[in-house]
Amino acid sequence: MAHTEIRFTGFGGQGIILAGHITGLAASIYEDKQATLTQKLRPGVRGGACSAQLIIADQPIFYTEPSPGADIVIAMSQEAYEKYEPTVPENGTLIVEEDLVKLTHPKRGYRLLPVPATKLADTTGKKSRREHRDAGLLHRRSRRRVSKDAMSKAIAASVPEGTEAAEPEGL
């Protein structure tokens, strides 16, 4: 992997920003790669649109703004899907929350991975596990950009004690 751009998108309260942070931490601290994270959200509005753009590279990153077409897009809301689906390149990956996103105009050429992320996170009994759900989606479903060990360490370092151990099955 020389350079990978990942866009986590959804709405406030889904753990979008923290999922980007956890994944970047896993890559940069626990795998000695370069990573940069930028985020966009409407402050003070839970449920408003938000996104986290992560770049992971083997070499120094000199420009922190991702290109319009990220290699991996995780769309956890319909609004995020509508906005970012057209930007997924032909060789990219689009991961969608299957219970919240209706595929209205998927194009061919990219890898489409619908997952029941919210349902799986809710089975753990702790809503605070949404951020590991999103980070776990990236790890398990998108050609493993960071190792499982690095992701586990980053989750443990980033979430409240007692919420890091159990992971929902089936991702």
Per-residue pLDDT tens digits for 95-151: 999 999 999 877 778 999 898 877 766 665 555 455 445 555 555 544 556 888 888
Backbone angles phi, psi at 109, to 5 degrees: 110, -30
Q: In terms of pLDDT, which residue wins out, 51 or 45?
A: 51
Predicted pLDDT at 121 = 65
Structural domains in the chain, CATH included, are 3-158 (3.40.920.10)
Residues contacting 72, CB < 8 A, separation 6+: 4, 5, 6, 7, 92, 93, 94, 95, 138, 142, 145
Per-residue pLDDT tens digits for 71-98: 999 999 999 999 999 999 999 999 999 9
